[in-house]
């Protein structure tokens, strides 16, 4: 997928550059773009690793486990099939919590573990069951305590207070999750009646 997108961006740039008589700017941009990207990355390295370090302190202190326990009642309502499923529910809670804490690196392996547990109880079907769909939709809509990555980028581009968008991000992502789960419930019902 990305092969086509990246290729398309470059090809369009060269063609439009030629049409608009801006090929000189395009060649300049090719050189500058790479340098800018490295500058952005250097600007991000410090803050991203500082924040990951802080989050690891709370993780090692058991914050993730505590939060996961607090979320369990809510999540077991969303995944009634696995209410008493032990390891499935644990994996689901761990993944959602890791996402919330912004521990992206550990969230994905935990998510895959949850999917594997669900597939084990799915009798080897190649069709996704309702719980899997709810789980994937929860993962495609992100709820994060602190949107670190975006804030660091905003900081790099001169935002006075990079985290001032926090309430907006919170409301927007929560709304996305609500709509996503509501859609799942509606689609599930339609399937049953149709």
Considering only residues 55 to 114 of the shown chain, the ones binding another protein according to CB under 8 A are 55-63, 104-105, 108, 111-112
Mapping DSSP to helix (H, G, I), strand (E, B) and coil, where does residue 126 land? coil
Integer angstrom CA distances of residue 15 from 19, 24, 28, 100, 173: 6, 12, 15, 43, 38
Please identify, using beta-carbon distances, which residue of 34 and 70 lies nearer to another protein: 34
38 near another protein (CB under 8 A): yes
Please identify, using beta-carbon distances, which residue of 60 and 193 lies nearer to another protein: 60
Question: Would you give the DSSP letter of residue 145?
Answer: S
Spatial separation of the C-alpha atoms in residues 194 and 33, rounded to whole Å: 52
Q: Which stretch binds another protein (CB under 8 A): 7-15, 69-77, 81-89?
A: 7-15
CB of 162 to another protein, least distance (A): 7
Taking the CB of residue 32, how many other CB atoms lie within 10 A of it? 12
Give the tokens for residue 92. 């689901």
Among 123, 160, 192, 193, contact with another protein (rule: CB under 8 A)? 160
CB of 71 to another protein, least distance (A): 18
Size of the site for another protein (CB under 8 A): 103
């Amino acid at each position: 997928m990305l092969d086509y997108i990246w290729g398309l961006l470059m090809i369009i740039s060269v063609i439009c550059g030629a049409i608009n008589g801006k090929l000189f700017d395009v060649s300049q941009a090719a050189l500058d773009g790479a340098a800018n990207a490295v500058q952005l990355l250097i600007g991000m390295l410090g803050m991203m690793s500082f924040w990951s370090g802080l989050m690891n302190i709370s993780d090692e202190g058991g914050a993730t486990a505590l939060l996961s326990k607090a979320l369990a009642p809510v999540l077991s309502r969303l995944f009634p099939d696995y209410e008493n499923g032990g390891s499935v529910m644990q994996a689901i809670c761990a993944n959602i919590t890791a996402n919330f804490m912004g521990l992206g690196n550990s969230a994905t392996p935990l998510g895959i573990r949850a999917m594997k547990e669900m597939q084990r109880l799915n009798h080897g079907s190649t069709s996704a069951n309702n719980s899997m769909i709810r789980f994937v939709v929860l993962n495609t809509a992100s709820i994060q305590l602190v949107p670190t990555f975006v804030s660091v980028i905003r900081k790099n581009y001169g935002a006075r207070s990079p985290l001032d968008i926090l309430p907006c991000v919170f409301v927007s992502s929560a709304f996305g999750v609500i709509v996503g789960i509501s859609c799942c419930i509606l689609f599930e019902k339609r399937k049953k009646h149709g």
